[in-house]
Structure 1
Amino acid sequence: MNLQERAQQSHDWEAFLLSHQEAFDRQYAQELQRANVYEFMIETEYVGNTDFYQHFRMVALYLAQSEAHMLQEIGYRRGITAAKHDLPIRYIGQLIPAFRRTYWTLLQEFSAGKPYAADDFFELEGLTNHLVDLYSQSYYTGFLEHKETQLRLHRELVEELSVPVIPLSATKAILPLIGMIDTFRAQKIQDQVLEQVAEHGVTLIILDLSGVPMMDTAVAGTLFRLLDGIRLLGCEAMVTGIRPEIAMTMVELGLRMPEEVQTKGSLKQVLASYGL
């Protein structure tokens, strides 16, 4: 097939796609039904709210035009859209194969009765699959990058809200720690507590660990440095609520609380001793 014939065939194929949009939508819906995806798309209104068919008709046209750059661009944007709508990745894994089958079905209908040399067919197959793969890779990249950004922002927000220094009086405060503490969160706690102690002129801060189920060496080391930093700021530090499991771990690992730091069995005892 010479260049002129190839250009004419490409033009005819684009015209066929434009004149068979309803057929494309029906075929794609059938493929999604076979993949057990269609009902979910309808129930969640993903199809209606995201110009679903219009998008994949556009993909088909760019594919017919061999527009690799545009396929990557719209694939990336579509991946972000899917992430924003919380489309489960197991369904995404069915969307693009279903589109590929739809595209080949319509291409087969368009090519019926047209002579194809074996070399031309294999060239078309290789190019088409390569372009669909480029679209797919960009789709997943957009989806995953958006999800990673959401997770990072969520974690930063959670960590900011997980350092609740609660004032007990003008110069006394309590820091109740709850849940698992990893090294990332421990560092956040250290940074924010020191900042708040200095900013508000706190002279006594009580760290209550009764809500912390366990602690490893790295986390304990960060908290001990926090206690040292608190003392360097001229603030007295007290630790309450060390659970038996944490105490046993500290003994086994040879970890010792700084001598200047007082420890009490419960927060209730400390508050009572200060008349709070």
Structure 2
Amino acid sequence: MDRLTLDLNLKHYLEENKDNFEQYLLNQAVNVKDKINDILRVGDIDLINNAHTLTHYIIDENTKDLSAFAKQEGIAWATFSLTLSFKLEWIQAIRRTLWIFIQKYNNDIQPISIDSFFELEKQINNQIDYFLNEFFINYSTYKDALISSQRKVVEALSVPIIPITPSICILPLIGSVDTFRTSILEEKVLTEIGRLHIQTLIMDLSGISEMETEVIDHLLKIIYGTSMMGCGTVITGLRPDVVRQMIQLGVKFDDDTKTFATLQQALNEYLVK
């Protein structure tokens, strides 16, 4: 029997025993079988139907569609942050189940010659390994892109520079400010001053819940940098504990930096007048 005929016969045999194949597959995938409905609900991924699709591509040695399918699956699993160990267990369960049914075909339908068997073994295992490789490459690539995109959004939200006139902007800082955030702050502030031609930056610190000692020194350097770019800095809402830290460290703002107790006072000074 030539390989083409064998492949067609195997496909036909698997179709005839579809329900039995699924039962064997679920028994092989011990940890995944209880998660099938969750994965379908969260990611709209039908593991059972996908298993049949994958086996057809493998037996047909359809590398083009197999690659596209692996990319589709990799992106889907990355998008919905599905557990990779489940995917790996599922694919290995498909591999084992497929070989179980090839053995059944050999025993119950028609013996497979030694040469055909070794060719089939190479084809099936190579195709499954190729699928896994393509899946993980696409998963990693898309996941990295998602993380990068989300990080940019977080960075933008953590430094919200708000224009209120063509030359005046407000930078309200909220939450905890650490050294990582001040690094983002420095880059964003200097970039936006140049891009928006900001002449006055009102930096409101009233929403800061915690500030590391190193951050105060970094903040002073940012203020100095804005001054070098021709932008005046106005500080509002300094908390008493931050002021005490500055006094203990012996640091102070330069004479060009203005301070107000509240943001409202600064707005009255720069907008109302």
Alpha-carbon distance, 1:159 to partner: 1.3
The amino acid that maps onto 2:128 is V
Give distance in 1, aligned partners of 2:86 and 2:70. 16
Counterpart residue number, 1:190: 189
Q: Which residue of 2 aligns with 1:107?
A: 102
CA shift for structure 1 position 133: 0.7
Q: Which amino acid aligns with 2:160?
A: P
Worse overlay, 41-50 or 16-25: 41-50
**1:62: which partner in 2?**
57
Structure-2 separation of matches of 1:244 and 1:98: 63
1:11-160 paired onto structure 2 within 5 Å: 11-32=8-29, 35-46=30-41, 49-112=44-107, 114-160=110-156
Q: 1:22 to 1:158 in 2, by over 3 A?
A: same
Offset of residue 227 of structure 1: 3.4
- 3-state SS of 2:173 partner: strand
* Counterpart contact for 2:43–2:77, Cα < 8 Å: no
Where structure 2 has 5 or more consecutive residues not aligned to the other structure, the ranges are: none
Report the Cα offset of residue 50 of structure 1: 2.6
**CA distance in structure 2 between the aligned counterparts of 1:58 and 1:167, rounded to whole angstroms:** 54
Aligned partners of 1:173, 1:103: CA distance in 2, in Å?
63
1:207–1:238 contact (8 Å) kept in structure 2: yes
Give the partner amino acid of 1:79. G
Query: Which moves more between the two structures, 185-194 or 220-229?
Result: 220-229
Q: Which amino acid aligns with 1:101?
A: R
TM-score, L = length of structure 2:
0.73
For the 8 Å contact 1:231–1:237, the answer to whether it is kept is: no
- Which amino acid in the other structure matches residue 140 of structure 1? F
Q: For 1:164, what is the secondary structure of its paired residue?
A: coil
Tell me the secondary structure at the aligned position of residue 112 of structure 1. Answer: helix
Q: 1:21 to 1:223 in 2, by over 3 A?
A: farther
Identity across matched positions, percent? 16
Q: In structure 2, what residue type is equivalent to 1:73?
A: A
Q: Secondary structure at the match of 1:182?
A: helix
1:46 Cα offset (Å): 4.3
Note the C-alpha offset of 1:127: 2.5
* CA RMSD in angstroms, aligned pairs only: 4.1
What SS class does the counterpart of residue 81 from structure 2 fall into?
coil
Q: What TM-score, normalized to structure 1?
A: 0.73
Deviation track 1:108-148 (CA, whole Å, cap 9, x = no partner) reads 11121544454543332232111101101112222222222
1:197-212 matched pairs, under 5 angstroms? 198-199=197-198, 201-202=199-200, 205-206=202-203, 208=205, 210-211=208-209
